[in-house]
């Protein structure tokens, strides 16, 4: 059974710092991995999608890497801003059946202090 | 529409009441997913539709939960005889192709259900 773990559970950094969020998964047979952002009381906003054949994806100040063999992904945020404060969730889409549902981690709550 | 929409955004129900939650996926999206997110947790899969066919309902926690998508677009998640443990945010997502693909899932804003 696929399990997704995110470390740390919470992180507080001063504005301008670069930071790394970690995601690990137990079954390397995945279709892809997605990083999401969730603001309080809101739905999920997709940040980056990495297909299983890819090693990394970049969007603006965000860079996500994927090491499928070791079951790890990292989300790197450069020059953090207070507006980056949110919960960051990673999710893997596995093989098997017709569904390929997303399996989520419990998230990392990020606070960027001005 | 521009994105996935859900209604109502907030619902308060007394224990034992039935509720119905609506999801409007992105137009033309084949796949539709329902997830349940408890406070402080990541979303957990409930059920999946490919067009009007419910292909996976393995995540539904009990037979009080029922979902439908009769015309392959709008979906309704119904919870009968609500219990306090049903309190959560219910998220709907859609993707362009069938489930067994690398397509990105797009999420709605969710419905926050509180059972008192």
Chain A residues in contact with B109 by the CB 8 A cut-off are 42-43
Taking the C-alpha atoms of residue B62 and residue B47, their distance in angstroms, rounded to an integer, is 12
Residue B107 contacts A where some CB pair is shorter than 8 Å? yes
* Contact between B99 and A51 using a beta-carbon 8 Å cutoff: no
Helix (H) or strand (E) segment spanning residue B11: strand B10-13
* Contact between A99 and B48 using a beta-carbon 8 Å cutoff: yes
Q: B112 or A96: whose pLDDT is higher?
A: B112
Residue B1 contacts A where some CB pair is shorter than 8 Å? no
Residue B91 contacts A where some CB pair is shorter than 8 Å? yes
pLDDT digits (tens, 9 = 90+) for B60-88: 999 999 999 999 999 999 999 999 999 99
Give exposure, B65-75, as e/b (b: 16+ Cβ within 10 Å): bbbebeeebeb
* Contact between B102 and A51 using a beta-carbon 8 Å cutoff: yes
Question: Which tokens is A9 given?
Answer: 């559970």
Q: Give the bridge partners for A64, in sequence order.
A: A57, A75
Taking the C-alpha atoms of residue A70 and residue B53, their distance in angstroms, rounded to an integer, is 36
pLDDT digits (tens, 9 = 90+) for A35-61: 999 998 888 999 999 999 999 999 999
């Amino acid at each position: 059974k696929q399990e997704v773990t995110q470390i740390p559970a919470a992180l507080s950094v001063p504005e301008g710092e670069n930071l790394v969020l970690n995601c690990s998964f137990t079954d390397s047979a995945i279709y892809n991995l997605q990083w999401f952002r969730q603001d309080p009381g809101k739905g999920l906003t997709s940040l980056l999608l990495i297909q299983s054949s890819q090693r990394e994806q970049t969007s603006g100040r965000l860079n996500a890497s994927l090491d499928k063999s070791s079951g790890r992904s990292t989300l790197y945020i450069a020059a953090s801003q207070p507006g980056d404060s949110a919960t960051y969730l990673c999710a893997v889409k596995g093989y098997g059946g017709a569904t390929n549902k997303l399996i989520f981690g419990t998230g990392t709550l990020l606070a960027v202090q001005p | 529409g521009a994105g996935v929409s859900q209604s109502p955004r907030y619902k308060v129900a007394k224990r034992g009441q039935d509720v119905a939650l609506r999801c409007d996926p992105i137009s033309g999206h084949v796949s539709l997913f329902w997830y349940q997110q408890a406070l402080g947790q990541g979303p957990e899969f409930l059920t999946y539709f490919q067009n009007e066919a419910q292909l996976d309902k393995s995540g539904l926690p009990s037979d009080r939960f029922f979902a439908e998508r009769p015309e392959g677009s709008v979906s309704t998640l119904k919870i009968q005889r609500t219990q306090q443990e049903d309190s959560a945010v219910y998220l709907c997502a859609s993707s362009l192709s069938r489930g067994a693909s690398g397509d990105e899932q797009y999420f709605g804003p969710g419905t926050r259900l509180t059972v008192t």
